[in-house]
Amino acid sequence: MRQSSTLIPTLREVPADAEVTSHQLLLRAGFMRQNASGVYSFLPLGKRVLQKVEQIVREEMDRAGSVELLMPALQQAELWQESGRWYSYGPELMRMKDRHSREFALGATHEEVITSLLRDEVKSYKRLPLNLYQIQAKFRDEKRPRFGLLRGREFIMKDAYSFHASQESLDQVYDQMYAAYSRIFERCGLNFRAVIADSGAMGGKDTHEFMVLSEIGEDTIAYSDTSSYAANIEMAPVINTYEKSDVAEEELVKVETPAQHTIDEVAAFLNVEAAACIKSLLFKVDDRFVLVLVRGDHEVNDIKVKNYFEASVVELATPQETKEIMACAVGSLGPIGVSESVEVVADHAVKAMVNGVCGANEEGYHYTNVNPERDFKATYEDFRFIEEGDLSPDGQGVIKFAKGIEVGHVFKLGTRYSEAMGATYLDENGRTQPMIMGCYGIGVSRTLAAIAEQYNDEKGLVWPANVSPYQVHLITVNTKNDEQRELGEKLYNSLLDRRFEVLLDDRQERAGVKFADSDLIGIPLRVTVGKRASEGIVEVKVRKSGESFEVSVDQLEATLTELLSK
């Protein structure tokens, strides 16, 4: 491609609203432009990287036995109503009406469409298993679109769905997809880790997220400092190793705590540790209210609450709801004397507390010498977030945290959709069975941004060769000089003949501008045709290391081939 005839609008200034490096550099290097919040155009360079990533995804999916198809982005509401997600998905699902007032959704994901397709087309166990994928734009009206392509409202996803007649078959394909994902992210050059994403009822082997390690990641990974254990912090269980001290239980006392609301305020006021306080939070779990207790120095993990109650929605009660249900404000809640209609559940750590502190459900008062079991009833489970320094859930080593960007997700769905939507087949004995499903997503455009986030320096992007928009950036320093221009043209054509991917900077710009743009764009190898063109000598520069050397034109091809294979 000739730079004079393509669109690479580079910027010298850092765009004001781009917070993270990948977003800034992809804009500055002219790979993309924003159209609306979370909605982007891929410009020619961005489109090429996207295609490279897609190609890697395609090759590995095909190799793993998944077959490509393409489903519509426009999906009828009826399908989502059948699965129930029309009502539960919430405002993230973009909805619209056609001219006949029929309702539609823009595809946020395709479980419904593919399940309805297989329901109609597959009737016998003989046609199973089937594993199908597509690469396509998805639409999600994210609450906070941000960080450019990392969280868009329209973005490119690869989504695959597998259908099975047995759990073993699903397990097998799940493992194949897991391996394919590992190869995909390796080929993209990413520093990533596969983490357990759901401990659920099945013991944590049934969904993994692929996380690119990055300071700007929105997810926290809890990993063991000694074993291979790694899980999303949302899902990491805390081992119950609390032991009750043998200090004598003292008499419950109600004390005045004027204007003291937070754990820190109350602890300071009563001169106790936060760990001696009970934190009480009122949650709305689907349509009932639950008081959740954790130790004052711990945080409630609402995902664990959600899983425990097998609920679809878990939210903190609003101040108004709290007032109605508990007859007091949020900062005064406690488990003593709570009405029967409110279930009280507590983290294991609470059970081991002796002579603790809790709210008295009355403004300006707390109880001291609170002893669980004696003073209130609760059901005990693991309800808190794991913390750094906690014992690793596999019993080996202690937990450390790292930040990650979720680029992929493999998930055993089971019969959630096939049962709701009647996707059944006849088994060997002629009995009707729901199909067992798995689903497997990759954020393709997010992966592109994650690569940019890991591969850059102070001058710009530094693409790994596998996903770089071009392999070679050929720069003619002075296009007005006949020898330089002619040699540039000649090398451009001969490298293209040899199937190199070449971007030729044939613009009438100053050398400084060309070099700065070239560093910003980040193609792995630069060939500069300059002063020694008449002698048949050019300069080769490696973007990553900055090393450069002179090469005679008849050695150029061999040099480039060797450098690219490194």
Q: CB-wise, 141 or 299, nearer to ligand ATP?
A: 141
Q: CB-wise, 142 or 362, nearer to ligand ATP?
A: 142
Please state the closest distance from residue 472 (CB atom) to ligand ATP, in A: 30
Q: Rounded to whole angstroms, how far apart are CA atoms 451 and 25?
A: 12
Could you say whether residue 414 binds ligand ATP (CB under 6 A)?
A: no
Kindly compute the dihedral angle of the four CA atoms of residues 209, 212, 216, 221, in this order, to the nearest 10 degrees. Answer: 50
Q: Rounded to whole angstroms, how far apart are CA atoms 155 and 53?
A: 14
Site stretch for ligand ATP (CB under 6 A), options 97-105, 306-314, 425-433, 441-449:
441-449
Please state the closest distance from residue 413 (CB atom) to ligand ATP, in A: 12
Q: Rounded to whole angstroms, how far apart are CA atoms 367 and 374?
A: 13
Q: Rounded to whole angstroms, how far apart are CA atoms 51 and 43?
A: 12
Give, as ranges, the residues between 442 and 461 that touch ligand ATP (CB under 6 A). Answer: 443, 445-446
State the residue number with the nearest CB to ligand ATP: 443
Nearest to 105 by CA among 135, 123, 134, 83: 83
Site stretch for ligand ATP (CB under 6 A), options 147-155, 300-308, 328-336, 492-500:
147-155
Sign of the C-alpha dihedral, residues 185, 191, 197, 199?
Answer: positive
Site stretch for ligand ATP (CB under 6 A), options 181-189, 256-264, 384-392, 404-412:
404-412
CB atoms within 10 A of CB 353: 24
Report the SS3 class of residue 354.
coil
**DSSP per residue, 86-126:** HHHSGGGSEEEE-TT--EEEE-S--HHHHHHHHHHH--BGG
Q: CB-wise, 219 or 505, nearer to ligand ATP?
A: 219
Please state the closest distance from residue 24 (CB atom) to ligand ATP, in A: 18
Q: Would strands 103-106 and 94-97 be described as parallel, antiparallel, or unpaired?
A: antiparallel
Please state the closest distance from residue 418 (CB atom) to ligand ATP, in A: 19
Q: CB-wise, 113 or 540, nearer to ligand ATP?
A: 113
Q: For residue 379, which amino acid is it? A: T
Site stretch for ligand ATP (CB under 6 A), options 65-73, 331-339, 401-409, 425-433:
401-409
Residue 491 main-chain phi, psi, to 5 deg: -65, -40
Bond into 129 cis (ω within 30): yes
Q: Rounded to whole angstroms, how far apart are CA atoms 5 and 443?
A: 31
Enumerate the H helices of 126-284 as residue ranges: 167-187, 263-270
Site stretch for ligand ATP (CB under 6 A), options 149-157, 164-172, 453-461, 472-480:
149-157
Please state the closest distance from residue 366 (CB atom) to ligand ATP, in A: 38
Near ligand ATP by CB under 6 A: residue from 441, 460, 469, 488: 441
Residues near 464 by beta carbon (within 8 Å), at least 6 away in sequence? 188, 189, 451, 455, 524
Near ligand ATP by CB under 6 A: residue from 45, 106, 325, 407: 407
Nearest to 423 by CA among 163, 167, 173, 170: 163
Could you say whether residue 157 binds ligand ATP (CB under 6 A)?
A: yes
Could you say whether residue 488 binds ligand ATP (CB under 6 A)?
A: no
Could you say whether residue 409 binds ligand ATP (CB under 6 A)?
A: yes
Could you say whether residue 152 binds ligand ATP (CB under 6 A)?
A: yes
Please state the closest distance from residue 405 (CB atom) to ligand ATP, in A: 8
Helix, strand and coil percent figures for the chain, each rounded to 5: 30, 30, 40
Contact between 119 and 159 (Cβ < 8 Å)? no
Give me the residue label for tokens 């941000």. 146
Please state the closest distance from residue 109 (CB atom) to ligand ATP, in A: 6
Q: Rounded to whole angstroms, how far apart are CA atoms 507 and 39?
A: 30
CA terminus-to-terminus distance, the chain: 24
Please state the closest distance from residue 453 (CB atom) to ligand ATP, in A: 13
Site stretch for ligand ATP (CB under 6 A), options 59-67, 150-158, 381-389, 469-477:
150-158
Please state the closest distance from residue 446 (CB atom) to ligand ATP, in A: 4
Number of residues that bind ligand ATP (CB under 6 A): 15
Tokens of 264: 């820190």
Site stretch for ligand ATP (CB under 6 A), options 40-48, 246-254, 371-379, 407-415:
407-415
Interaction mask 77-116, ligand ATP, x per CB under 6 A:
--------------------------------x-------
Site stretch for ligand ATP (CB under 6 A), options 83-91, 116-124, 274-282, 405-413:
405-413
Please state the closest distance from residue 443 (CB atom) to ligand ATP, in A: 2
DSSP character for 394?
Answer: T
CB atoms within 10 A of CB 7: 10
Please state the closest distance from residue 149 (CB atom) to ligand ATP, in A: 6
Near ligand ATP by CB under 6 A: residue from 140, 279, 366, 384: 140
Near ligand ATP by CB under 6 A: residue from 40, 80, 125, 155: 155
**HSE-up (13 A, CA, CB side) for residue 516:** 11
Q: CB-wise, 335 or 404, nearer to ligand ATP?
A: 404
For binding to ligand ATP (CB under 6 A), which residues are involved?
109, 140, 142, 151-152, 155, 157, 406-409, 441, 443, 445-446
